[in-house]
A and B are shown apart, each in its own frame.
Chain A
Amino acid sequence: MKNILRLSIVMTIVSLLSAFLLAELYSITKPKIEIQKMAKTMEALKMVQPDARVLVPVTQKIPVKDGAGNILFDREVIIYYQAFANEDSSQLLGFAFKSEGNGYSSVIETMVGIDTSGQIGRIKILSQKETPGLGTLSEDSEPFTGKKWSTKQFEGKTSKQLKVDKDGGQIVSITGATITSRAITNSIKSKLETLLPRMGISQDKNEEGN
């Protein structure tokens, strides 16, 4: 009995001290980490909507449920951004959103900018951990010549046109990394199709370009 007590006391003290130290440090570093994340998102937004002066996040409340299905609380999640050309937010330029897709060895996050008709402007790969030298080439954004993958080839595409060449589409995939190219293309396509009605862009109008 005495032994068990001794073991528990030692373990408890060590754990408590560690927890206290970590809690203190967490409160110091957390705002810094948030700022870093925000800066990264802002930088990507500027890249996909370079002419925007004001970017307004559009949020949605997503209920957080416990195991039994009861709603605990609502969490606000940014679903996309509205990009305005002027300070007073009257001239809508387009939208920006983040898409995620499973690539070959990682989840690939892409920031996508579209105009008010739903046509893609620029895209920027936010994070990926694909095969070095193959899938990682997806981040290259050399001018698009029609022969090699470039993130610039997405410019002017509508959701219907988003399909890699192997699937009979127009997106030139990376040689040796079709899965990566397909993941990026399809994740943008599916996210775009769910968001278009919310942004008030009709899919029919979007398809006219074909």
Chain B
Amino acid sequence: MSLFAEVIKGIYKENPVFRLVLGLCPTLALSTSMSNAIGMGMAATFVLVCSNAIISLLVLLFSKILSEEGQKSIDKIRIPVYIVIIACFVIIVEMVMSAYFPALSESLGIFIPLIVVNCIILGRAEGFANKNSVLPSIADGIGMGLGFTAALCSLAIVRELLGSGKMLGHAVLGAGYKPMLIMILPPGAFFLIGIYLGILNWLDLRKK
């Protein structure tokens, strides 16, 4: 598969939220507004690309310096190694964000440190990066990150509009609009994810 195809597949065909149904916790919590969605999406994309790159690089390195048997034996600690690498990049994101984008880091709050246990990132490390070489892994990270961001934004645009009458932080529905509060609370995200998944599945079925 070409590198471009690796990027593209993450956006629709293997979209982490709508197709693989991974990472729903941050999706529920942070699709309340476009700025949260974009901030979270970018942070996760950065971690995803870096951890995919480093993990595939390590696998490559070990395949060069270790015997077949040695590679098999260090397989046992692959998950702790992934977690250390992912946690390292998450802390980098957290520190840089609170130093340079304090407002964003405040509104994302606890969900930035929680990227460590985001199943999209660990899933791609285990499912893709440790089986593929460096460039496809980076491409996969970019694609999955963009797919996650796109999913968050597609939810956020509806939730922000209906739930607070705003678009990208600007009031667009006028002062007379009474916000549908439930849309920015967790149930709103469940409704919307359900509707989106239904539509996507229906489209797929119709194609066949």
Which A residues are within 8 Å of any B CB, using their own CB? 3, 6-7, 10-11, 14-15, 18, 21-22, 25-26, 29, 32-33, 36, 40, 127, 129, 131-134
Q: In the complex, are the beta carbons of B99 and A14 less than 8 A apart?
A: no
Q: Assuming the A-B contacts A6-B74, A7-B73, are A18 and B84 also in contact, with contact meaning beta carbons closer than 8 angstroms in the complex? A: yes
CB distance from B161 to the nearest CB of A (A): 14
Mark out the residues of chain B between 153 and 205 whose CB falls within 8 Å of any chain A CB in the assembled complex. 163-164, 179, 181, 184-185
CB distance from A138 to the nearest CB of B (A): 16
A-B contact count (CB 8 A): 62
Q: Which residues does chain A contribute within 8 Å of B91, judged by CB atoms? A: 22
Q: In the complex, are the beta carbons of B85 and A29 less than 8 A apart?
A: no
Q: In the complex, are the beta carbons of A26 and B95 less than 8 A apart?
A: yes
Main secondary structure of the interface of A (DSSP, over half): helix
Q: Assuming the A-B contacts A10-B81, A18-B88, A127-B106, are A132 and B95 also in contact, with contact meaning beta carbons closer than 8 angstroms in the complex? A: no
Q: Which residues does chain B contribute within 8 Å of A7, judged by CB atoms? A: 73-74, 76-77
- Rounded to whole angstroms, the CA-CA distance of A79 and B155 in the bound complex is 44
**Contact indicator per residue, chain B 63-102, by CB within 8 Å of chain A (1) or not (0):** 0000000100110110011001101100110011011101
Q: Which residues does chain A contribute within 8 Å of B127, judged by CB atoms? A: none
- Rounded to whole angstroms, the CA-CA distance of A92 and B58 in the bound complex is 63
Q: Assuming the A-B contacts A6-B74, A7-B76, A25-B92, are A132 and B32 also in contact, with contact meaning beta carbons closer than 8 angstroms in the complex? A: yes
- Rounded to whole angstroms, the CA-CA distance of A22 and B164 in the bound complex is 38
Q: Which residues does chain A contribute within 8 Å of B81, judged by CB atoms? A: 10-11, 14
CB distance from A162 to the nearest CB of B (A): 27
- Rounded to whole angstroms, the CA-CA distance of A29 and B98 in the bound complex is 9
- Rounded to whole angstroms, the CA-CA distance of A33 and B94 in the bound complex is 11
B109 at the interface (CB under 8 A from A): yes
Closest residue on chain A to residue B184 by CB atoms: A132
Q: Which residues does chain B contribute within 8 Å of A132, judged by CB atoms? A: 32, 163-164, 181, 184-185
Q: In the complex, are the beta carbons of A11 and B164 less than 8 A apart?
A: no
- Rounded to whole angstroms, the CA-CA distance of A131 and B91 in the bound complex is 27
Q: In the complex, are the beta carbons of A11 and B77 less than 8 A apart?
A: yes
A/B interface sample: 21 pairs, CB < 8 A: A6-B74, A10-B74, A10-B77, A10-B81, A11-B80, A11-B84, A14-B58, A18-B84, A18-B88, A29-B98, A29-B99, A32-B99, A32-B100, A33-B95, A36-B99, A36-B102, A127-B106, A129-B109, A131-B185, A132-B163, A132-B181
Q: Which residues does chain A contribute within 8 Å of B184, judged by CB atoms? A: 132-133
Contact partner of A15 (CB less than 8 A), chosen from B74, B84, B102, B179, is B84
CB distance from A23 to the nearest CB of B (A): 11
Interface size on B, residues (CB 8 A): 30
Q: In the complex, are the beta carbons of B185 and A29 less than 8 A apart?
A: no
Q: Which residues does chain B contribute within 8 Å of A21, judged by CB atoms? A: 88, 92
Known A14-B81, A14-B85; further 15 A-B contacts with Cβ < 8 A: A6-B73, A11-B77, A14-B58, A14-B84, A18-B84, A18-B85, A18-B87, A22-B92, A25-B92, A26-B95, A32-B99, A33-B99, A131-B185, A133-B179, A134-B181
Q: In the complex, are the beta carbons of B164 and A6 less than 8 A apart?
A: no
- Rounded to whole angstroms, the CA-CA distance of A15 and B83 in the bound complex is 10
- Rounded to whole angstroms, the CA-CA distance of A36 and B98 in the bound complex is 8
Q: In the complex, are the beta carbons of B102 and A40 less than 8 A apart?
A: yes
Closest residue on chain B to residue A10 by CB atoms: B74
Q: Which residues does chain B contribute within 8 Å of A127, judged by CB atoms? A: 106
Q: Which residues does chain B contribute within 8 Å of A29, judged by CB atoms? A: 95-96, 98-99
Closest residue on chain B to residue A31 by CB atoms: B99
- Rounded to whole angstroms, the CA-CA distance of A52 and B74 in the bound complex is 63
- Rounded to whole angstroms, the CA-CA distance of A131 and B186 in the bound complex is 11
- Rounded to whole angstroms, the CA-CA distance of A26 and B73 in the bound complex is 34
Q: Which residues does chain A contribute within 8 Å of B96, judged by CB atoms? A: 25, 29
Q: In the complex, are the beta carbons of B88 and A22 less than 8 A apart?
A: yes
- Rounded to whole angstroms, the CA-CA distance of A32 and B106 in the bound complex is 15
